Amino acid sequence: MRFATYEHRGRRQVAVVEEDGTLYPLPGVASLAGLLAEGGGLPGLLDAGSATLDAPAGPHVRDVRLLPPLQPPTVRDFVTFEEHVEGVRRSVDGTAGVPEQWYTAPTFYFTNPYAMYGPYDDIPVPPGSGMLDFELEVAAVIGKEGGDLTPEQARDHIVGYTVLNDWSARDLQSAEMKVGLGPCKGKDTATTLGPCLVTVDELEHHRDADGFLRLALTAAVNGEVVGEDLLSNMSWTFEEMVAHASRGTWVRPGDVLGSGTCGNGGCLAELWGVRGRQDPRPLRPGDTVTLTVEGIGTVSNTVVRGADPVPVAAARRRSRERPPNA
């Protein structure tokens, strides 16, 4: 099944999306994250969806504003494509190759759950940035709670998948990561999710012998294709990522785990690193980025002018005075 969240005539609604684009609202469901939190995992979600198909149809997707399928409580964004790491390190850090530590475990960072945008929303340029980039990813959504999971156990905790665009201010990111932390403001202002949540059973026939989902990925800027890859080029499966994320802690319903950016043009920074120049140029207001994932769908966002940065003072050189008798 496919689930979407939309706004229509001033109301927000969760619905099942039929193949023809007709929406079937879930009565009494205020949010998809809330429905997942009620429990039941995939069976509970499918039961809730099936119950809507005997009810009157709602509007068509073309007549509503699609919102992010859910508002996640947490977003872990991984980096699982080796080709992406090679290119971006050259562009952002000025270093070649892949760090040996990358191969030992699927690394991730926590990004901002308050900055979710829908599949066709405008995306403002982050304040103070002149090097905006997109990043083509697929996200897994957690359907039930678990901790210290094995990869085999983790499969039952993934309820579905959606397209993720991890918008990145490369100039801010490059500067702040020299401190040894981050990324922070370079990734803080926008993440696209959509166009819907596709339940795991819908994609099972795409799974290869090694457990990876073989889905075609395409990125285009202003209608020109700049990147193409396969999701199965990930170096870890989503189940392994969930297991790692749950080590010593919990994953809970509604949590989102991004695959990390695909290779072969999954973002501009990778191409800059490979080509040694900013070709294509950074995104600017008026540019439209369209990302398509086989079996899930397409998101297409137009960049618009953002807010000016609010000034914050630089660090003060302090005396390092100590308390008396310290």
How confident is the model over 236-250, as pLDDT tens digits? 999 999 999 999 999
pTM above 0.75, yes or no: yes
Can you give the pLDDT at residue 99? 93
Can you give the pLDDT at residue 137? 98
Can you give the pLDDT at residue 53? 79
Can you give the pLDDT at residue 96? 80
Can you give the pLDDT at residue 166? 98
Asked whether residue 18 carries a pLDDT value surpassing 70, the answer given is yes
The rounded distance, in Å, linking the Cα atoms of 212 and 120 is 28
Can you give the pLDDT at residue 217? 98
Can you give the pLDDT at residue 95? 80
The rounded distance, in Å, linking the Cα atoms of 37 and 319 is 50
Can you give the pLDDT at residue 326? 67
Can you give the pLDDT at residue 180? 87
What letters, b where the CB count within 10 A reaches 16 and e where it falls short, cover 204-213?
Answer: eeeeeeeebb
Can you give the pLDDT at residue 94? 75
**Across the chain, what does the average pLDDT equal?**
96
Instruction: Find the mean pLDDT for residues 290-315.
Output: 98
Q: What is the CA radius of gyration of the chain?
A: 20
Reading the block at residue 139, the tokens are 């996200």
How confident is the model over 61-92, as pLDDT tens digits? 999 999 999 999 999 999 999 999 999 888 77
Percent pLDDT > 70 in the chain is: 100
Are the CB atoms for 147 and 249 separated by under 8 Å? yes
What is the pLDDT confidence band of residue 295, given thresholds at 50, 70 and 90? very high
What is the pLDDT confidence band of residue 184, given thresholds at 50, 70 and 90? very high
Specify the residue for token string 């990561």: 177
